[in-house]
Amino acid sequence: MAGGTVTLERLPKGADLVEAVLEVALRHNLTHGAVKVIGALQCAVLGYYNQKAMKYESIDVVEEVEIVSGLGNISIKDDQPFVHLHLVLSKQDGVCLGGHAMPGTVIFAAEAMLQAGAGDAPHRKFDPDTGLYLWS
């Protein structure tokens, strides 16, 4: 996809959300860009990065939730496209929770918009100050 080009796709029910976004990116040869996703999930696992311990803690969301907002990006990590996605999810009473989308986040229905970035893809490298893989 040329820089700026947008693709809109429905993601498959029952698929892992991050894997489904990555599949769209790979199919379109998209190495870097922006991701937006809305929809609903059967369940989710959210990550919270503990800055002192420098590790992710996971939050299991064992209920059906709406994706109020899904925002993320795609860049290169270990020579492969990598999806970084954050979610705000609402429960049945409208109360929201959010975090970093982790494996185990299962789609009920989801609509994704991927926009290809221009220029060279940013590459993620391990950053010892944060313990995270950040753009170098």
Binding footprint of Zn ion on the chain (CB under 5 A): 100
Nearer to Zn ion, 32 or 100 (CB): 100
Instruction: Indicate the residue whose CB is closest to Zn ion.
Output: 100
- The per-residue b/e assignment along 91-121, b for 16 or more CB within 10 angstroms, e otherwise, is eeeeeeebbbbbeebbbeebebebbbbeeeb
Q: Three-state DSSP class for 120?
A: coil
Nearer to Zn ion, 11 or 85 (CB): 85
Q: Cβ of residue 46: shortest distance to Zn ion, in angstroms?
A: 10
Q: Cβ of residue 101: shortest distance to Zn ion, in angstroms?
A: 8
Distance of CA 24 to the CA centre of its chain: 12
8 Å CB contact between 134 and 125: yes
Nearer to Zn ion, 93 or 129 (CB): 129
Q: Cβ of residue 85: shortest distance to Zn ion, in angstroms?
A: 8
Q: Cβ of residue 84: shortest distance to Zn ion, in angstroms?
A: 5
Alpha-carbon Rg for the chain, nearest whole angstrom, is 15
